[in-house]
Each structure stands twice: as structure tokens, then as C-alpha cells.
Amino acid sequence: MKNFKLFILLLITITGFNSCSENEDTMTLLPVQTKQITNLHAPQSGGQGQPVSGDFVKFNFTTGETTIDNKEWDIAFRGTSIIINGGVSLGTNDEPNRNGEAAVYIASGNMASVTDIDTTSFLQDSQSNYAILTGGGNGWYNYAGPPTHLITPIPGKILVFKTHNGLYAKVEILSYYKNSPSQPDAFIDGTPYYTFNYVYQPNQGVNGFE
Amino acid sequence: MLNNSYSFLIILITLISSLSINSQEKDEAFKDSTEIQKLQEVVVSVTKIKRQLSSLPLPAQIISNKEIQNTNSIRLSDLLNEQTGLITVSDFGGGEGIQLQGLDSQYTLILIDGLPLIGRSAGTLDLSRINIGNVQQIEIVKGSSSSLYGSEALGGVINIITQTPKSGFKSSLNYSLDTFNSHDLNINLSSKKKKLGIILFINKHTSDGYDLLSDDFQQTVEPFKDYTLNTKLTYSFSEKTLLTVSIRNYLETQNNVASKSLAGKSEINEWNNLFKINHFFNKKFESTFEFYITKYQAEEYLNDLNGNLFSKNYFDQALLKSELRSAFSINKKHAVIGGIGLTSEQIDRMDFIDAPKFDSSYIYLQYDGYYNNNTTLIVGARFDNHNVYNSQFSPKAALRFKFNNSFSIKSSIGHGFKAPDFRQLYFNFSNATVGYTVLGYNAVSKIIPQLESAGQLASVFIPVSNFNNELKAENSISYNIGIDYKPSSNFKLDINFFRNDVKDLIDTQIIAQKTNGQNVFSYYNVAKVFTNGIEFNSYWKLNNNIAVSGGYQLLIAKDKKTKQDYKNGNIYARLNPFSPSFQLNKNDYFGLFNRSRHMGNIKIFYNVPKWNLQANLRITYRSKYGLSDTNGNNSLDKYDDFVNAYSLWNIAINKTLNTKYKLGFGVKNIFDFKDSQNISNIAGQLIYGKFNINL
């Protein structure tokens, strides 16, 4: 039994060394993660002239899931606003404090064409603006105005994020309406239900998504 | 089958296309062949004096009183929709504005007897408010005419010439009744004895309106009634001096329904008053002085269920214009016309920062010459000086060369402009339910600091200092080149290529963001657009009783920057919300909204002399067009939703009972075409009957 334990230990050590040496030789990295999140529900209260409130729904790219942790989150959603865990709070009601190094910029292209990361373009939330500007046409969405009042993601806009712990992810938002209807109706379909595709680069120090 | 553009085009090509039938030709068509009309068609809009149409070097067209009668048209919008390259387009307020050579309603100047109509609430001049029961002819000049008319004549001019008193006493009564319980009653009284002439026109029009979407609380067009009153008085002091006084008043009342619990009325009250003296110094020299005052007042209110006032809105515009012009004919082949004028314009409107006033003065000069019995030349220019926007110099030149009696070439080039309107300068509007704000250019430096100090602004994207310069007038250069081919008196074909290069187009941009997350918009000079295309018009008299005309316009209208963005691969689209976005290329750009690539018409006029009966079939076609961007890239690409192509078929039959009475019957939109989602001004099939008494 003792020998067996020793054998296991030896085996682990050897494979460990092996993998280490392999890493050094051919730079084997963790695979890039591609995932779709559907119907992430992030309601807000107030709006339309009234103060906005309600909890932001936080999301962590590493786990690929929403979280209630106050530190380990990358981006958070409330209504049409998307904030990042980096910079300073705009000071709205119920807005979480920033304690990470997250940042963002909006690239033109699609998920396939945005492969490099331009680290000089990153912005963080500030006292006057979120890094992803709100308002139709300013950030990630268009607002159709009357009569349809539809909120639709601007095609060709890829949100490139730096996570709270310095890794990268790119996001294409697909829909703001529940179950991503092909002909959304702002008066019938539930909001805000985010559906988005993302690609996460889990390797530290790799400035790209390939 | 109705919407099949190919079959239409085939018919069109077979028949070839055409100029709308004009009076002389129609007269010819319906006259005995032995009886040749010598009357020449005369147009005044091109030179401000009477000018023979056929030798003009630029695209101009006349719709005669006869065509108005034969088609039983009641409103100007009905008539213009049947002309090649013209289409009325509804704005969000329901106003029907004209699109000419692919340019919006705000770029076509609408005149009555040479003087401008006002009351463009959002740039659109609603043509459905103009009754044409007392119209002598309508003149349409395509291509920039700012060299004579100044602002707004960037795309062209539509001049409605009303009847003038003729010798003797004449009276007529017209009455028509149609499907929507619409009654239209006209009375025309005209008398001229020696020096004094007077004409009185009264029109009453009432309608129940119509509803395309029956499941909501309001109608597409609410019931309305309107009155037009026009008196014209002419007095000849001598053979050389003629005084004209004209007063026109239009009154409209319409139900105003906003929701189940909010209803009221909307009213329009318009006055056009003209005082004019012509004096002929001698056979070569004449002068005209015009003093014109027009007012347009629109008011609407909504009451709640208890009858308490909920909201009230008003729009009150006035224009004063005086012009002195002289025409000098050097000899029969050379003439010069020049004029000076002053205008003063005022507006008082809801949501304006103040009650602004525009003052401008202008001077123009135009030469019209005829050389070698085959070359016509018109050159002219106008200078406009304005108290708010930059001065404008608008030159124009046009040349026509006649190769032989059946073939000639004409070409013209001109500068056109449109001054920023009051709204683009002085608007201060905040949407009560959504919370966005729209500011006129001149309102920005006043309102933005106010919003800022009230703590309503989250951030300012465009600094206020950017608004220190003046908002420039939109301006364009228009080119027209065409051929007239008339191998015989029975056949005629006109072809015209046009291009309008418009720059400094005024658009809205986001200038700041409010703390409520909504945007503040303002106006700025940005866009460069072009419209170009070809227009065909043809007329073919098969025999003395049948005449066919056809017209076709090919139009390409694009924003130059957007076109470049497509070319550079900066525009993306998404097929549906599940699919990722993909890059578009330059072939995917369709062009500006609300423009159809193909528009056409075919008209067949049939005459049965032994029954005193005239019948006609008129078909108009419009190919698909896009009303808005439906896939998020703010431009119209081929993956967007389009309004389907359609054609409208109209028939009219008129029978004359002795010379005094006429009975009319017709169906507009025979196949009951409707598109309730996209086209609010097509009501569906409309059957009417009418009678006319001439004494």
C-alpha cells in the first residue's frame, strides 16, 4: 500500500514534469472557451426620467455564470446598462463598487473577424459615464424610438473585455428580448433578457482569441 | 400579378414611356384631324413671364385643366401621383409631400400663381390641402430653380396657376360623391366686363375619412371638412396697367384622436393674399410689382373624458413678400428679366426657444436668348442675403439645340439651396414619455448650459462651442441633360438624365446624454447625398380617338458617406436575432429610405365622339422601397424589410350631355390595393360619381 502511494506520487510527479516540459516546448495553452448565454434577466426599476435602481446582475467569464460575489465578477447588467468591474461607480442606486481591473472597448467586426486585442483602446467606468455608453446608438444597442421602441444590438459591434483579473473575452450581444424572438415586439416580449455569444481567453498574457 | 414589376416593365417598354398628356396634345387627340390647334402651350414658371413650353432648354411640364377634368382629380396630391417621377409620401404627421427627382418634399417649392405656400410643420408641405377645382394649369419645373426662386427650389418648382377672369359671365358647379362619404362641391363664378374682372371660387369638401387598421381606437384618417375660398379681382386702368388682387382662404377642421380617453380637434387656417400691378411701358418693357402676405395657422387640442383640456399645440407662421421685377425684350429673340425683393418670415410655435424672425433680400437677373433659329440659351443668377444663415449665390445655365424639327437636345446646370428652417434652428423639445430632447442649432448654446446647471446632463459629446458658427444652408448642384424626339405629331419621346449632388444636408446627431440615459439631439450639416436617374416620357396618338402615354423613372439615391462605409466594409447586418452579424459589401446598399428604384405610369385615353364620352385608364407603378432600417445598421440594405411594389389602376368615364352638363363616374384603385402597415395614404378602392354644370 505504501509502495502504491509512492508509485502514484512518483507517477504524478513525472507526468507533472512531463507536462511542464511540454508546455515549455510547444506552449500548449488552455483551450479558448466559446459559449452562448441565453435569457440573462437583468431588470431595473425606475427609468424614463425617474432615478434608476435595482441590483446589477453580475457575470464572471471564468466560470461562465452569473455570480453574487462582490469581487469575482467581470461585467454586470441592469436594464440596457452594462458595467464593468474596473474604474469607478457612476453613483446610481444599488450600483456595486469596482475592485477589479476590468476594462472594455467596442470593436467593429464580427466574432470571427475580431481576433486581436488592442490594449490601448480599453476604457473603464468613470464618474461621468459607463465605459459602454448608454443611449441608443452610443454603445451596444440602437433604440428605434416611436412607434416600435425596439432595442436592438448594433450589428458589427463586438465588446472586447478585460476581466477583473486581467484576462480577455469578446462578446456579441444578440438579443435584449426573452427567447430572442425573430420579430421582437417591445410591448409584448419580456425585457431585459440578454442573449449573447462570448469567447473567453483563459490564458494569462495572450493578446488574442486564437 | 398586380405587383409584378416585370410584366409592368414589359408593357412599359412595349408602349414606351411618356410625358403626361398636355392640353394641346390632348386637344389634338380629341379633335378632328382637319382641325389643327394652333395654340402654343405657355409656361410662366421658368422665366416669370409667359414663355412657350416647347423650346425651353430644361425639363418642364404642364398639367392642363383638361387633364384635371378628364381624370376627375380633386386634390393636387391625386394629380401629381400620376405624373412620371413624382410621388407623394406621407410623413409621420400624415402630411402628403411631393418627392421629385428623388428629393424630399422640403426641397420642392410649391407656388400658387408664382407665390410660395408656407406651413411646413416638419418640412413637408401637405399637398392634400390644395383643391384644384379652379386651376388653369399646373407647371412642374425639374432641377434646381433657386436662380429665380431662392430657397426651397433646390429640387424644382411646382406652380399652380389659377384661373383668371375671362370676358363675359361664366359659372360652373361641380359636385362629386365617393366611397368614404366624401362630398366635394365647387362653385366657380367668373365675370369680366370692360375693365373689371372678378372670379369667385368656393369649395367645400367633407369626408368621413377611412381606417386601415380597424382594431385600434383611432382612424387612419379622421373625419374632416375643409373650405377653400378664392377671389380674384382684375382691373385694367388702361391697356397698359393691370391690377390683380387675389385672396385665398383655406379652413380645415379634423377630429384629433390620441387614445381612447383623449380626443379633440385640429384646425388649419391659411390665408394667401396678393396685390399685384403689371405695367407695360411699351412693347418691349414691362414691370410687375407684387405684394404678398400669407399666414398659416394650425392648432390642435386634446380633451380628456371629462372635457378638460389635456394638451394644446399651435403653429403660427406668416410670410410677407414684396417683389419688383421687369422684363425687357431686346427683340423677339433676346429678353432679360430682373427682380429685387424682400421677404420677412415669422413663426410662433410650441417648443421654440423664442418667436424667431427671418429677413431676407434678394436680387436676380436672367437672360433668355434664341440664336440661329436652333439654339436657346437661358443664363441667370440670384443672390439671397439673409439675417440668419449665410448668403447664397445661385447661378443657372440651360441650353437647347435643335438639330431638326423632330430632334433636339437640352441641358441645364444650376445651383440650388434650402435655408435651414425654423425648427432646425430654434426647436427645444423634450419628449414627455421617453425623455429625449431635440434642440435646434441656435438653441444649443442656450439650453445645454441650462440642462447642465440643472444637473440633467451625464455627459456632453459635442461641445457647445461647436455651435458658434452658423448652420449652413443645404445646397446642391443639379444637372439635367435630355433629348426630345418628335418624329410626327402623333408620337413624342422625351428622355432626361438627371443628377442632384446635395451637400451640407442637415441631419440630427447626438450631442449629449442626459442623466436619465436618453440623448440630446441637435441638427448639423453633415450629409452629402446624390440622386440620379433617367426619366422617359412618351406620347402616342394611335388615331383620333385613342391616345396612350407612358412614363418611367429610374432612380438611384444614396448617401455618399454611407456608400463609402459599405465599400470599406464598415457596415454589418444580422439576419435574425439568433445569428451573428456579418459584413455587408457595396452591392448590399440599397440607398435612401422611401425611394423606389422604378416608378412608372401608363395612361390610355379613349374618346367616343358619337356618345360624347371620354374614358381613360391610368396605371401607376412603384417598385419596392424601404421605410426604415430593420437590422440595426442605420442604413437601408438589401436584407432590410421592404415595402412591396404595387400598382394602382384608375378609370374615369365622363359623358357630356349637351354642352352644359357633364356626368362623371370612376373607380380609383380598382383592385383595392392597401398596405395598412406601411402606406397610410392609400385608402383602398374608391368609387365616385360626379356631375358638372357649366352655364
DSSP string for A59-76: EETTTTEEE--SSS-SEE
Helix or strand holding residue B173 (H, E): strand B168-178
CA distances from B480 to B399, B426, B477, B589 (A): 10, 35, 10, 25
Which of B63, B69, B70 lies closest to B24 in space, CA to CA?
A: B63
If one compares A157 and B5, the residue with the highest pLDDT of the two is A157
Q: In sequence order, what DSSP letters do the residues of B353-403 get, joined into one string?
A: SS--EEEEEEEEEEEEEEETTTEEEEEEEEEEEESSS--EEEEEEEEEEEE
Question: Is the pLDDT at B92 greater than 80, yes or no?
Answer: no
Q: How many Å lie between the alpha carbon of B312 and the closest alpha carbon of chain A?
A: 21
Q: What is the chain B residue with the closest CA to A134?
A: B517
Query: Is B429 within 8 Å of chain A by CB?
Result: no
pLDDT per position as a tens digit, B116-129: 999 887 778 899 88
For strands B108-112 and B156-162, give the pairing: parallel
Mean pLDDT throughout B172-182?
94
Question: Is the pLDDT at B28 greater than 60, yes or no?
Answer: no
Question: Is the pLDDT at B370 greater than 80, yes or no?
Answer: yes
Query: Is A142 within 8 Å of chain B by CB?
Result: yes
Q: How confident is the model at residue B567 (pLDDT cuts 50, 70, 90)?
A: very high
Helix, strand or coil for residue B611? helix
Question: Is the pLDDT at B150 greater than 50, yes or no?
Answer: yes
| Yes or no, beta carbons of A137 and B519 under 8 Å apart | yes
| Yes or no, beta carbons of A48 and B516 under 8 Å apart | yes
Query: Is B577 within 8 Å of chain A by CB?
Result: yes
| Yes or no, beta carbons of A81 and B581 under 8 Å apart | no
Q: What is the chain A residue with the closest CA to B571?
A: A156
Query: Is B454 within 8 Å of chain A by CB?
Result: no
Question: Is the pLDDT at B351 greater than 80, yes or no?
Answer: yes
Question: Is the pLDDT at B656 greater than 70, yes or no?
Answer: yes
Query: Is B372 within 8 Å of chain A by CB?
Result: no
A137 neighbourhood in chain B, CB within 8 Å: 510, 519, 634
Mean pLDDT throughout B271-291?
95
Q: What is the chain A residue with the closest CA to B511?
A: A138
Between CA B64 and CA B565 the distance in angstroms is: 45
How many Cβ pairs within 8 Å bridge chains A and B?
96
For residue B630, the model assigns a pLDDT of: 80
C-alpha cell at B129: 390641402
Question: Is the pLDDT at B445 greater than 50, yes or no?
Answer: yes
Ranking A44-58, A150-164, B580-594 by mean pLDDT, the lowest is A44-58
Count CB-CB contacts under 10 A for residue B231.
15
Side chain identity at B316, as an amino acid letter? Answer: D
Is there a contact between B123 and B99 (Cβ–Cβ < 8 Å)?
Answer: no
| Yes or no, beta carbons of B583 and A113 under 8 Å apart | yes
| Contacting B residues, span 555-574, partner chain A, CB-CB under 8 Å | 570-574
Count CB-CB contacts under 10 A for residue B215.
5
| Yes or no, beta carbons of B577 and A49 under 8 Å apart | no
Q: What is the chain B residue with the closest CA to A108?
A: B570
- By Cβ distance, the residue of A138, A153, A177 closest to B513 is A138
Q: How confident is the model at residue A64 (pLDDT cuts 50, 70, 90)?
A: very high
pLDDT per position as a tens digit, A147-158: 778 888 999 999
Between CA B64 and CA B47 the distance in angstroms is: 19
Question: Is the pLDDT at A41 greater than 70, yes or no?
Answer: yes
Which of B105, B111, B76 lies closest to B91 in space, CA to CA?
A: B105
Q: How many Å lie between the alpha carbon of A41 and the closest alpha carbon of chain B?
A: 17
Count CB-CB contacts under 10 A for residue B45.
24
Between CA B386 and CA B393 the distance in angstroms is: 12
Mean pLDDT throughout A160-178?
94
- By Cβ distance, the residue of B434, B579, B633 closest to A156 is B633
| Yes or no, beta carbons of A152 and B632 under 8 Å apart | yes
C-alpha cell at A64: 461562465
For strands B519-541 and B491-514, give the pairing: antiparallel
Give the CATH number of the domain where residue B496 resides.
Answer: 2.40.170.20
Q: In sequence order, what DSSP letters do the residues of B403-421 get, joined into one string?
A: EETTEEEEEEEEEEEEPPP
Question: Is the pLDDT at B571 greater than 80, yes or no?
Answer: yes
The residues, ordered by sequence, that sit 6+ positions from A81 with a Cβ below 8 Å of its Cβ are: A44, A52, A56, A130, A132, A134, B517
CA distances from B470 to A26, B381, B423, B467 (A): 64, 24, 15, 7
Between CA A30 and CA A10 the distance in angstroms is: 25
Between CA A166 and CA A60 the distance in angstroms is: 12
Between CA B489 and CA B514 the distance in angstroms is: 67
Question: Is the pLDDT at B294 greater than 50, yes or no?
Answer: yes
Residue whose grid cell is 373650405: B227
Helix or strand holding residue B241 (H, E): strand B241-257
| Yes or no, beta carbons of A155 and B570 under 8 Å apart | no
pLDDT per position as a tens digit, B308-342: 999 898 999 999 999 999 999 988 889 999 999 99
| Yes or no, beta carbons of A182 and B570 under 8 Å apart | no
Query: Is A89 within 8 Å of chain B by CB?
Result: no
Between CA B436 and CA B434 the distance in angstroms is: 6
For residue A49, the model assigns a pLDDT of: 59
Side chain identity at A203, as an amino acid letter? Answer: N
| Yes or no, beta carbons of B517 and A80 under 8 Å apart | yes
Q: With pLDDT > 90 as the criterion, what percentage of chain B qualifies?
A: 67
C-alpha cell at B473: 444652408
Is there a contact between A82 and A125 (Cβ–Cβ < 8 Å)?
Answer: no
| Yes or no, beta carbons of B632 and A154 under 8 Å apart | yes
Between CA B150 and CA B381 the distance in angstroms is: 10
> Mean pLDDT: which of B167-171, B290-294, B310-314, B566-570 is highest?
B290-294
**DSSP helix, strand, coil percent of chain B (3-state; round to 5):** 10, 55, 30
What's the first-to-final CA gap in chain B, in angstroms? Answer: 45
Query: Is B583 within 8 Å of chain A by CB?
Result: yes
Between CA B237 and CA B541 the distance in angstroms is: 45
For residue B218, the model assigns a pLDDT of: 85
Query: Is B373 within 8 Å of chain A by CB?
Result: no
If one compares B459 and B237, the residue with the highest pLDDT of the two is B237
Mean pLDDT throughout B570-582?
83
Residue whose grid cell is 410650441: B350
Helix, strand or coil for residue B208? coil
Which of B325, B326, B266 lies closest to B291 in space, CA to CA?
A: B325
| Yes or no, beta carbons of A137 and B631 under 8 Å apart | no
Between CA A46 and CA B124 the distance in angstroms is: 37
For residue B460, the model assigns a pLDDT of: 84
Q: With pLDDT > 70 as the criterion, what percentage of chain B qualifies?
A: 93
- Residue length, chain A? 210
A128 neighbourhood in chain B, CB within 8 Å: 458-459
The mean pLDDT value of chain A amounts to 85
Q: How confident is the model at residue B421 (pLDDT cuts 50, 70, 90)?
A: confident
| Yes or no, beta carbons of B632 and A108 under 8 Å apart | no
Question: Is the pLDDT at B295 greater than 60, yes or no?
Answer: yes
If one compares B402 and B658, the residue with the highest pLDDT of the two is B402
B512 neighbourhood in chain A, CB within 8 Å: none
Q: Is the peptide bond before A192 cis (omega within 30 degrees of 0)?
A: yes
- Residue length, chain B? 695
Question: Is the pLDDT at B595 greater than 50, yes or no?
Answer: yes
For residue B469, the model assigns a pLDDT of: 85
Q: What is the chain A residue with the closest CA to B519?
A: A135
Q: How confident is the model at residue B496 (pLDDT cuts 50, 70, 90)?
A: very high
Query: Is A184 within 8 Å of chain B by CB?
Result: yes
Helix or strand holding residue B84 (H, E): none
User: DSSP code of B75?
Assistant: B
| Yes or no, beta carbons of A134 and B513 under 8 Å apart | yes
- Number of structural domains (chain B) is 1
Question: Is the pLDDT at A91 greater than 60, yes or no?
Answer: yes
| Contacting B residues, span 619-648, partner chain A, CB-CB under 8 Å | 628, 631-634
Helix or strand holding residue B157 (H, E): strand B156-162
Between CA B296 and CA B120 the distance in angstroms is: 9
For residue B1, the model assigns a pLDDT of: 40
- By Cβ distance, the residue of B458, B576, B581 closest to A182 is B576
> Mean pLDDT: which of B7-16, B423-432, B474-483 is highest?
B474-483
> What is the domain range of residue B22?
5-694
Mean pLDDT throughout B355-374?
93
Q: How confident is the model at residue A134 (pLDDT cuts 50, 70, 90)?
A: confident
What's the first-to-final CA gap in chain A, in angstroms? Answer: 45
Question: Is the pLDDT at B35 greater than 70, yes or no?
Answer: no
Question: Is the pLDDT at B20 greater than 50, yes or no?
Answer: no
Number of helices (H), then strands (E), belonging to chain A: the values are 1, 13
Q: In sequence order, what DSSP letters do the residues of B90-123 get, joined into one string?
A: E-TTS-EEEEETTB-GGGEEEEETTEE----TTS
Question: Is the pLDDT at B649 greater than 90, yes or no?
Answer: yes
Is there a contact between B125 and B110 (Cβ–Cβ < 8 Å)?
Answer: yes
Between CA B681 and CA B96 the distance in angstroms is: 8
- CA torsion sign, B303 to B305 to B307 to B308? negative
Question: Is the pLDDT at B478 greater than 90, yes or no?
Answer: yes
Q: How many Å lie between the alpha carbon of B598 and the closest alpha carbon of chain A?
A: 28
Helix, strand or coil for residue B28? helix
| Yes or no, beta carbons of A129 and B631 under 8 Å apart | no
Q: Give me the helices (H) in chain A, please.
A: 2-26
Q: How many Å lie between the alpha carbon of B502 and the closest alpha carbon of chain A?
A: 25
Which of A114, A122, A109 lies closest to A157 in space, CA to CA?
A: A109
Helix, strand or coil for residue B11? helix
Ranking A24-38, B99-113, B132-146, B366-380 by mean pLDDT, the lowest is A24-38
Would you say the pTM of this structure is higher than 0.90? Answer: no
Burial class (CB in 10 A: 0-12, 13-18, 19+), A158: buried
Between CA B257 and CA B631 the distance in angstroms is: 32
Test the A interface: residue of B213, B521, B578, B637 with most A CBs within 10 Å: B578
- By Cβ distance, the residue of A110, A138, A155 closest to B632 is A155
Helix, strand or coil for residue A4? helix
Mean pLDDT throughout B583-596?
93
Between CA A197 and CA A174 the distance in angstroms is: 7
Q: What is the chain B residue with the closest CA to A110?
A: B581
Helix or strand holding residue A110 (H, E): none
For residue A57, the model assigns a pLDDT of: 95
Q: How confident is the model at residue B6 (pLDDT cuts 50, 70, 90)?
A: low
Mean pLDDT throughout B438-447?
92
Between CA B79 and CA B63 the distance in angstroms is: 9
| Yes or no, beta carbons of A184 and B577 under 8 Å apart | yes
For residue B136, the model assigns a pLDDT of: 93
For residue B29, the model assigns a pLDDT of: 36
Mean pLDDT throughout B502-517?
85
Query: Is B511 within 8 Å of chain A by CB?
Result: no
For residue A25, the model assigns a pLDDT of: 46
Q: How confident is the model at residue B13 (pLDDT cuts 50, 70, 90)?
A: very low
- By Cβ distance, the residue of B517, B574, B631 closest to A134 is B517
E-only strand ranges, B489-518: 491-514
Between CA B128 and CA B186 the distance in angstroms is: 16
Test the B interface: residue of A134, A148, A177 with most B CBs within 10 Å: A134
Residue whose grid cell is 436594464: A79
